[in-house]
Chain A
Amino acid sequence: MGTTRRQFMKRTGTLALGAAGLGALGTRAVFGAGDGGTVGKPTLVVLYLRGGSDPLNALIPYGERTYYNMRPTIAVPGPGEGNKRNQVIALNDYFGFHPSMAGLARLYKKGLMAPIVNAGSTHPTRSHFDAQDFMERAAPGVKSVTEGWLNRFLYMTKGGDDSDLRAVSFQPVLPRSLRGQYPALAVPDENTQKAAGAFAGLYGCDDAKATAKAQASSGQDKPGVGGDESGRATGRGRIIDAGAQGIVRLGRLNEVLSSEKLVSGGDYPKTQLGGQFRDIAKLIKAGAGLEVAAIDYNGWDHHAMQGASYGVFSEMMGNVSDTIEAFVEDLGPMIDRTVVLTMSEFGRTARENGNSGSDHGHGGYMLAVGGPINGGRFYGKWTGLSSRSLYEGRDLPVHTDFRDVFAEILSGLYGFQADEHQFFPEYDANDKPIGLVKV
Chain B
Amino acid sequence: MRFQSVTDKRGAACGWVLAISVVFWGLSASCVGEPAETLTGEQRVSHVLDRLALGASLGGVEGVDEAGWEAWVRGQLEPGGIENGACDAYVQEHFPSLMMTMDQVWAAYDPPYENDPPTREEIDRRDRLRYELSQELVGSVIYRAVFSERRFEEVMAEFWRNHFNVDHNKDEVRFLAAHYEQTVIRRHQFGKFSDMLLASARHPAMLIYLDNDVSQKPLTDREKRMLVRYEGRKYQPRSVSALGRQRGLNENYARELMELHTLGVANENRKGGYSQRDVTELARLLTGWTAGRPRGETVGYGFRFRKEVHDDNRKRVLGMSFDGRAGEAGGVRFIHALGEHEQTARFISLKLCRYLVNDDPPGELVDEVAEVFEQTGGDLTKVYEAILFSDAFMDPVNYRAKFRTPFEFVVASLRVTGAKVTGFGGTREALRKMGQPVYGCVDPTGYDDAAEAWLDPGVLVYRWDFALRLTRGAVPGVRVPGAFWGGLPKGDPAGLKRALAEGLLAEGVGGEGWDGLDRALGEKPEAKRAAGLMLGSPMFQEQ
Q: Are A355 and B211 in contact (CB under 8 A)?
A: yes
Scoring A residues 16 to 54 as 1 if CB is less than 8 Å from chain B, else 0, what string do you get? 000000000000000000000000000000000010000
What residues of chain A lie closer than 8 Å to B123, measured between beta carbons?
Answer: none
Q: How far is the CA of A140 from the CA of B24 in the complex (A)?
A: 27
Task: Tell me how far the C-beta of A238 lies from the nearest C-beta in chain B, rounded to whole angstroms.
Answer: 6
Interface: B461 (CB within 8 A) = yes
Interface: A230 (CB within 8 A) = yes
What residues of chain A lie closer than 8 Å to B444, measured between beta carbons?
Answer: 128
Interface: B542 (CB within 8 A) = yes
What residues of chain B lie closer than 8 Å to A194, measured between beta carbons?
Answer: 465, 468
Task: Tell me how far the C-beta of B520 lies from the nearest C-beta in chain A, rounded to whole angstroms.
Answer: 4
Interface: A278 (CB within 8 A) = no
Q: Which of B195-239 contact A (CB under 8 A)?
A: 211, 214-216, 218, 228, 231
Interface: A189 (CB within 8 A) = yes
Interface: B118 (CB within 8 A) = no
Given A72-B231, A192-B464, 13 new contacts (CB under 8 A) = A126-B279, A128-B443, A196-B464, A198-B536, A202-B517, A207-B519, A213-B516, A235-B25, A236-B2, A236-B542, A353-B249, A354-B246, A392-B276
Q: How far is the CA of A183 from the CA of B460 in the complex (A)?
A: 14
How many residues belonging to A are interface residues under a CB distance threshold of 8 Å?
Answer: 78
Q: How far is the CA of A342 from the CA of B2 in the complex (A)?
A: 44
What residues of chain B lie closer than 8 Å to A244, measured between beta carbons?
Answer: 457
Interface: B158 (CB within 8 A) = no
Contact of A234 (CB < 8 Å), options: B401, B433, B445, B458: B401
Interface range on chain B: under 10, 10 to 19, 20 to 34, or 35 or more? 35 or more
Given contacts A202-B538, A219-B26, contact A192 B461 (CB under 8 A): yes
Contact of A303 (CB < 8 Å), options: B252, B451, B520, B539: B252
What residues of chain A lie closer than 8 Å to B214, measured between beta carbons?
Answer: 303-304, 354-355
Q: Which of A245-274 contact B (CB under 8 A)?
A: 245-247, 249-250
Q: Are A69 and B231 in contact (CB under 8 A)?
A: yes
Q: Are A354 and B536 in contact (CB under 8 A)?
A: no
Q: Are B435 and A234 in contact (CB under 8 A)?
A: no
- Residue pairs across A and B with Cβ atoms less than 8 A apart, 16 shown, are A124-B276, A129-B260, A146-B452, A172-B434, A195-B536, A199-B520, A210-B516, A217-B4, A232-B450, A233-B360, A236-B542, A237-B26, A242-B457, A243-B538, A353-B249, A354-B215
Interface: B402 (CB within 8 A) = yes
Task: Tell me how far the C-beta of A212 lies from the nearest C-beta in chain B, rounded to whole angstroms.
Answer: 12
Given contacts A188-B459, A233-B24, A234-B455, contact A199 B3 (CB under 8 A): no
Q: Which of A141-163 contact B (CB under 8 A)?
A: 141, 146
What residues of chain B lie closer than 8 Å to A246, measured between beta carbons?
Answer: 456-461
Q: Are B458 and A232 in contact (CB under 8 A)?
A: no
Q: Are A202 and B536 in contact (CB under 8 A)?
A: yes
Q: Are A354 and B216 in contact (CB under 8 A)?
A: yes
Q: Are B465 and A298 in contact (CB under 8 A)?
A: no
Kindly report which residue of chain A lies nearest to residue B227, judged by CB atoms: A72
Kindly report which residue of chain B lies nearest to residue A253, judged by CB atoms: B458
Q: Are B250 and A249 in contact (CB under 8 A)?
A: no
Scoring A residues 182 to 217 as 1 if CB is less than 8 Å from chain B, else 0, what string do you get? 011111110110111011011110010010011001
Interface: B251 (CB within 8 A) = yes
Q: How far is the CA of A304 from the CA of B251 in the complex (A)?
A: 12
Q: Are B247 and A174 in contact (CB under 8 A)?
A: no
What residues of chain A lie closer than 8 Å to B402, measured between beta carbons?
Answer: 234
Interface: B255 (CB within 8 A) = yes
Interface: B453 (CB within 8 A) = yes
Q: Are B249 and A196 in contact (CB under 8 A)?
A: no
Q: How far is the CA of A173 from the CA of B456 in the complex (A)?
A: 7
Contact of B25 (CB < 8 Å), options: A173, A233, A298: A233
Task: Tell me how far the C-beta of A183 lies from the nearest C-beta in chain B, rounded to whole angstroms.
Answer: 6
Given contacts A127-B259, A217-B1, A355-B214, contact A233 B23 (CB under 8 A): yes
What residues of chain A lie closer than 8 Å to B250, measured between beta carbons?
Answer: 303-304, 353-355, 357, 359
Q: How far is the CA of A43 from the CA of B403 in the complex (A)?
A: 33
